[in-house]
Structure 1
Amino acid sequence: MITKHVKVLILILCTWVQPSFSEEWLEEGDKFSFQTSVYTKHWNPKPEHNNNQKLFSIELNKKNRWLVGFAAFKNSFDQNTQYLYAGYTWALPETQDIGYFKLTAGPMHGYKGKYKDKIPLNQAGIAPAVLPSFGVSYQQFKSELVVFGAAGAMLTMGFEFPPM
């Protein structure tokens, strides 16, 4: 799963950083970030739950705190899943802009078969998703605690860098 998605993400990234895109969409202060999952906890664990999501995400974080991103991962039932999203981040008070709250929303695809009803409003294998997270960012390092509904939470780690 990761290899196929990594190739697609690299192709998208290469397209994004072309000069025409850079001049039109990227501004000074914008950053790309890559993240992967390092730990998952289900609130009510079941034997069929997968706790190794193998998440890979790429995100464009605008200097005005808006963001867009794409994540590929194994869902709680070990199915290949994709999440295309947009969102916003808010700096947490008293954290000197190191801590933040992030809210993303977008279509999620991948809950199929006997697990299709495990995500609300899953029509034709695509469901709307809203994911809150709390994060810390220091220099190029970032880590987030992503809450996925009433099912559980995932800890991610990654890095961010300015566009070329």
Structure 2
Amino acid sequence: MPEDRLLRSIVGWLMAILLALLALAAPAHAEPDFLKGWDGRHDRDLSATMLQISPYTLHFSPSPDHQNVYLLGAAAVRADGWMAGGAYFSNSFGQPTVYAFVGRKYLEPFGWERVYWTWTAGILYGYVDDYRDEVPFNVRGFSPGFVPTVGYMLTPRTSVQVAILGTAGLMFSLVFDLAP
């Protein structure tokens, strides 16, 4: 019985990711009016392959069990800012973990030059054994993820960014936007 529930959960998550990826592949369309203003430059082509490296994560509640988190991630970003990608990292407990996601990138919110923000939503795998309860809704290592970030463009292709990891901490990253 528990194995059947796990299988249904995994299939459900995989279907959700597949639908999100299909939505990203759909042709771009006009944004609804209520979203205008979050991105002050709608005419800018955001197409890129984003590479992300994170050497440090600040934990809000440090623990002797915590280890430094190292992350390497990549995402394909469409011209309109929609993106899909994945990341491999060692979680706070030294366990290898992966995150597959879809999301969106917004430039110059509120007219702030060189600033951007993103959000991603997807599925994590890697919090297992003694640490399975460290992330919510964990079923045999699989759990949902949501990560908002704020970034600052040092150059048109190089940025620094901070990811908000729920109530756990902040992840600091260097991001490179490679030409599509």
Pairwise TM-score range, normalised by the shorter structure: 0.7 to 0.9
Shift of 1:135: 0.9
- In structure 2, runs of 5+ residues without a counterpart are 1-24, 29-44
More displaced, 140-149 or 110-119?
A: 140-149
Mapped to 1, the partners of 2:147 and 2:66 lie a distance apart of 19
Name the amino acid aligned to 2:141: G
Match of residue 168 from structure 2: 151
Q: What is the correspondence of 1:1-164 to structure 2 with a 5 Å cutoff? A: 29-51=46-68, 53-91=69-107, 92-96=109-113, 98-137=114-153, 138-163=155-180
Mapped to 2, the partners of 1:132 and 1:44 lie a distance apart of 20
Shift of 1:158: 2.5
**Alpha-carbon RMSD:** 1.9
Mapped to 2, the partners of 1:142 and 1:69 lie a distance apart of 18
Q: Which has the larger radius of gyration?
A: 2
Question: Is the contact made by 1:29 and 1:162 (CA closer than 8 Å) also made in structure 2?
Answer: no
Sequence identity (%): 30
Instruction: Extract structure 1 runs of 4+ deviating beyond 6 A.
Output: none
Instruction: Normalising by structure 1, report the TM-score.
Output: 0.78
- In structure 1, runs of 5+ residues without a counterpart are 1-23
Mapped to 2, the partners of 1:74 and 1:94 lie a distance apart of 36
Shift of 1:121: 0.3
